[in-house]
Amino acid sequence: MTYRVKNIGIAVVLAAFAGLLTIFYVANYKRHVQNGENKVSVLVAARDIPAGTTGSEVVEQHYLKTETVPKRTVVPGAISETSQLNNQVATEQIYRGEQVTALRFGSTSELGIRAQLKGTERAMQLQGDAN
């Protein structure tokens, strides 16, 4: 075996060893960072929540589930307790997997006449004047 082949073999072995050490370091660093993050509980939509659904319906019909997420990924205004939905109504559709925020809920007065309609009732607007 010549020196050239021997040196190339040693270089390949050392390069493979350096690659393995790098992979090991990166994997451990990532695990260390993930374990060191602060985690918080937030409410996430378990299924699509239609606009106009009251907060009490959302809770009673199990539209929500609690998930623990890293603090840095929490959406501003995220709701962490179902009690925050009392006397609230979904003002726009909330999609499955989305963090539930206070911005997507409002008071029932924000819905206007739609808050009074139940089941198959519908409202119609007719044009006219005061005379």
Q: By three-state DSSP, how is residue 96 classified?
A: coil
Q: Are residues 30 and 47 in the same domain?
A: no
* Whether the model pTM is above 0.85: no
Looking at the 3D structure of the chain, how many domains does it have?
A: 2
Q: For residues 77 and 101, what is the distance between their CA atoms, to the nearest angstrom?
A: 5
pLDDT the model gives residue 115: 67
pLDDT the model gives residue 21: 94
pLDDT tens digits along 10-43: 999 999 999 999 999 998 888 887 776 788 899 9
Which residue in the block uniquely carries the two structure tokens 């082949």?
5
pLDDT the model gives residue 42: 92
Which residue in the block uniquely carries the two structure tokens 């072995």?
13
The two structure tokens encoding residue 85: 């939905």
Residue 44: name the closest of 71, 68, 60 by CA.
68
- CA separation (Å) from 36 to 29, 30, 71, 74, 113? 11, 10, 11, 16, 50
Q: Are residues 92 and 76 in the same domain?
A: yes
Helix boundaries (H) for 2-131: 3-36, 55-60
Average pLDDT for runs of 10 along the chain of length 131? 88 95 90 78 93 88 91 88 88 92 82 74 85 75
Whether residue 80 contacts residue 100, with contact meaning beta carbons closer than 8 Å, is answered with no
Q: Are residues 29 and 70 in the same domain?
A: no
Q: For residues 69 and 9, what is the distance between their CA atoms, to the nearest angstrom?
A: 47
- 14: in domain: yes
Whether residue 61 contacts residue 79, with contact meaning beta carbons closer than 8 Å, is answered with no
Range of the domain at 50: 39-116
pLDDT the model gives residue 95: 95
- 131: in domain: no
